[in-house]
Amino acid sequence: MVHIPEYKGPRVRARELGLPLGRFKPGKYNAITDVEGVLVGHCTLIKGEGPLRPGHGPVRTGVTAIMPNMGNIFMERMTGGGFVLNGAGEVSGMTQLMEWGLIETPILLTNTMAVGAVSDGVARHLVERYPGIGDEHDVIIPVVGECDDSWLNDISGRHVREEHVFEAIRNAASGPVAEGNVGGGTGMVTCDFKGGIGTSSRKLPEVLGGYTLGVLVMSNFGKMHNLRVGGLPVGEVLAEKFKGAPTRGKTYGSIIAVVATDAPLLSHQINRLCKRVGLGIGRVGSYAAHGSGEIVVGFSTANIIPRRTQKMVYKLKLLLDQRLDPLYEAVMEATEEAILNAICMATSMTGANGNHCPALPLDEVRRFVDACKPIFASVKKRPQQSSAPASREKPTDEDREGEVTVSTARPTQVRGAEG
């Protein structure tokens, strides 16, 4: 019998391990809820143990709800977008989202076989709140993302019901967000360790706009040997310690990410922002395998597009494309940290057929970090430097945090694509 090392210490978020997680500071809660008006709620289902009996259990699944605009997203819509890095997965409602560039329903996360039930539940919730849907108002297509939790959960038993969707929505709140084995992430696995729900945020300095950006992930991808934690090849070492331990085999898994920001972005800019989420996923070790679904949904809270108006046009605030670079960097940082938070906060779990998924041994991660601390300490974090060729003229401003006023800061030192 293979001995599986088990870490018994308390779970902490990635930042508490002293990892190098980027140069921008997180928001108050280091969560997607740092973006004003964004609420998150979970419904977690854990029941039964032993051999898999389809329809009976064991159950290790749930629902996570992300509610933009304090939940009033149907009547007061927001600009949205997305990106598919690899499409072996599903986010229902994505086709219309990409076509219209609007978010008009809550965003729900669950397991693969529960997408229909969760979509039904969201539709029921919205129809009860807005009886004019399908008559006075247009029909809706709820945005529901999924990952496969079948290694731990009786996924074909379809245990997620309408009432669980209602519970997740009812539990949606601002402030700290529960992570790890909660909601849609209950049965998820990341790099052969227990994964699940994770979140993080970044607050840009005023000179770069002062915007807040948050990411929430349902993380379920990867193999142990690929895992990188704060850039350190932790997975390669741990793979030797866990050699011979049962894993979910050939299944690579997937990840769904949700990005929120208060920066005033149009749909095409949100699409571009969502692409950079893929860079953050790659930092943790993903190569977006053939059978994996890396799908990203994003929205901006800065502009409200009313469902009812007598006007023929409406005005939007718009961030210049040249100002997007700090957001690109921030979303990459927040995505990496959100995934690491998911696996750092998740606890070990035994599910269907006795399949056991260990928790990431945080003592091993600390050992890596402590060994590298002299290196980290010798690197002085400096503000962003442009990667563009140096100008012939001496620049009059740089992206120096706190040293350049908003009124004098230029969008960029580089000529735009339009010349």
pLDDT tens for each residue of 349-385: 999 999 999 999 999 999 999 998 887 676 655 554 4
The C-alpha angle 59, 162, 157, rounded to 5 degrees, equals: 30
How confident is the model over 48-54, as a mean pLDDT?
97
Percent of the chain with pLDDT over 90: 83
How confident is the model over 3-22, as a mean pLDDT?
87
What CA–CA distance (Å, rounded) separates 82 from 85?
10
How confident is the model over 143-149, as a mean pLDDT?
98
Which bin fits 413, alpha (ψ -120 to 50), beta or left (φ > 0)? alpha
How confident is the model over 101-129, as a mean pLDDT?
98
pLDDT of residue 415: 36
C-alpha distance from residue 196 to each of 62, 140, 249, 322 (Å): 11, 28, 18, 35
pLDDT of residue 165: 98
How confident is the model over 87-97, as a mean pLDDT?
97
pLDDT of residue 301: 98
What residue spans of 157-205 are helical by DSSP H? 162-170
SS3 state of residue 203: strand
Other CB atoms within 10 Å distance of the CB of residue 361: 20
How confident is the model over 169-180, as a mean pLDDT?
98
How confident is the model over 110-121, as a mean pLDDT?
98
How confident is the model over 137-145, as a mean pLDDT?
96
What is the band of 413 on the pLDDT scale with cuts at 50, 70, 90?
very low
Residue 402 has pLDDT above 70, yes or no: no
pLDDT of residue 174: 98
Q: Does an H or E element contain 221, and which?
A: strand 212-221
Amino acid at 77: R
Residue 2 has pLDDT above 70, yes or no: no
Token output for 264: 């005033």
pLDDT of residue 393: 38
- What is the dotted CATH code of the domain comprising 28-307+321-378? 3.60.70.12
pLDDT of residue 419: 31
Residue 30 has pLDDT above 90, yes or no: yes
Other CB atoms within 10 Å distance of the CB of residue 136: 9
Token output for 274: 């969502």
Mean pLDDT of the chain: 90
| Per-residue pLDDT reduced to its tens digit, 227-268 | 999 999 999 999 999 998 999 988 899 999 999 999 999 999
SS3 state of residue 161: coil
pLDDT of residue 255: 98
Other CB atoms within 10 Å distance of the CB of residue 144: 29
| Per-residue pLDDT reduced to its tens digit, 308-365 | 888 888 889 999 999 999 999 999 999 999 999 999 999 999 999 999 999 999 999 9
How confident is the model over 69-89, as a mean pLDDT?
97
Rounded to 10 degrees, what is the CA torsion of 148, 154, 160, 164? -100
Residue 409 has pLDDT above 60, yes or no: no
Residue 400 has pLDDT above 80, yes or no: no
pLDDT of residue 380: 59
Residue 220 has pLDDT above 80, yes or no: yes
What CA–CA distance (Å, rounded) separates 415 from 419?
6
pLDDT of residue 280: 98
In 18-105, the DSSP E strands lie at 39-47, 59-67, 76-87, 91-92, 102-103
- Which residues have a catalytic role annotated? 254, 292, 294
**Model pTM score:** 0.90
Q: Which residues contact 334 (CB under 8 A, 6 or more apart)?
A: 26, 200, 201, 202, 213, 214, 215, 280
What CA–CA distance (Å, rounded) separates 153 from 59?
5
| Secondary structure percentages of the chain, helix, strand, coil, to 5 | 30, 25, 45
